[in-house]
Structure 1
Amino acid sequence: MTTTENPIADGRHDFDFLAGTWKVEHRKLVAMADPHCTEWVEFEGVQWMRQTLGGLGNVDNLTIEKMPDGSRYEGMSLCLFDPESGQWSIWWASTIAPGRLDPPVKGRWTGTHGVFECSDTLEGTPIEVRLDWDAFDADTARWEQSFSFDGGQTWVHNWRMSFTRISHEALAA
């Protein structure tokens, strides 16, 4: 997503749209480790993103004051761009798994759509993870997560986050 303000077209500016603070509406499967779960929950949170390393990276923080079970949730990601491969790597950590940094999903953007994938385990079960990003305009975006329990033959959509911009200025927290 290169713009006239960001003339380097190697992909390092793909996440520039996300800088700032966002209201996030979540829709998540209750049991993401169960490929047959059909029960959804909805809740809200706030996320901010700051750029770093001259556009080669960014850090974001997601806060959900009240999850459906009443708990508070906080997560963060580190995204780094590799100019040689043209790919982004995204690492995730959260209060659900203290001290754990998830394996990075890797991928790239094509226009306003990004796809990022990796292999992981969920509750001891090997899975494939896919994240899809869509940047609709300067003030709305969507992130979707899917798991494959059969090596990538089929995918189970399990979490959607719909972003609405609150501020272009990222919090310095």
Structure 2
Amino acid sequence: MSTAHDFDFFHGDWDAHHRRRTDFLDPDSDWEEFPSTSRCWSLFDGAANIDEIDMPHLGAKGLTLRLFDHETGLWSLNWSSNRSGKLFPPVFGRFEGERGEFYGDDTHDGKDVRVRFVWSGVSATTARWEQAFSLDGGESWLTNWVMEFTRASGTPAR
């Protein structure tokens, strides 16, 4: 069961290694890899947090606002980029055991997509995030972005 402290592991500074498809909807597209850094802050006594990720390779920064709904027990994950300045539609979900799954609807390149975020491999010093899109309402998924996080050197686990 999810709690308001599911994302406590992510507070602090992180280094990330990205693998992402050059075309999010093409299973035959190439993968590109690059590093980034991230910092996450806790809000609302753990029931919310914000992280900012700096991706120099893309010339971009991103921000995720995560909010825990105490009534439903679901998290909403809300993403924005400095490139657009817009808040993308949220994904909603929860952790069950060591895995968090979050789903939502969006558009990409003019096509309606079902979006899935998965958090796994969570420890005091590591975490894995992946994004997948579905063009058929969730019948099949194409993973198009993976981030492997490691605690930034010299920063304590929180």
TM-score using structure 1 length = 0.85
Divergent runs of 4+, >4 A: none
> Match for residue 82 of structure 1?
69
Deviations 1:10-46 (A, max 9, x none): 51000000001000000000011x3333310000000
> Match for residue 159 of structure 1?
145
Does residue 1:16 correspond to 2:8, yes or no?
yes
Q: Which has the larger radius of gyration?
A: 1
Once the two structures are overlaid, the 10-residue window that deviates more, 157-166 or 58-67, is: 58-67
Q: CA RMSD in A?
A: 1.6
Task: Structure 1 unaligned segments of length 5 or more: list them.
Answer: 1-8
Give 2:52's aligned amino acid: N
Aligned length: 156
Task: Structure 2 unaligned segments of length 5 or more: list them.
Answer: none
Does residue 1:123 correspond to 2:102, yes or no?
no
> Match for residue 4 of structure 1?
none
Sequence identity (%) = 39
Question: Which of 115, 134, 158 does residue 148 from structure 1 map onto?
Answer: 134
TM-aligned CA distance change 1:130 to 1:23, over 3 Å:
same
TM-score using structure 2 length = 0.93
> Match for residue 103 of structure 1?
89
The whole-number CA distance in structure 2 between the counterparts of 1:48 and 1:82 is 23
Deviations 1:110-153 (A, max 9, x none): 12210000011112100000000014320000000000011111
**In the TM superposition, what are the counterparts of 1:23-38 in structure 2 within 5 Å?**
23-32=15-24, 34-38=25-29
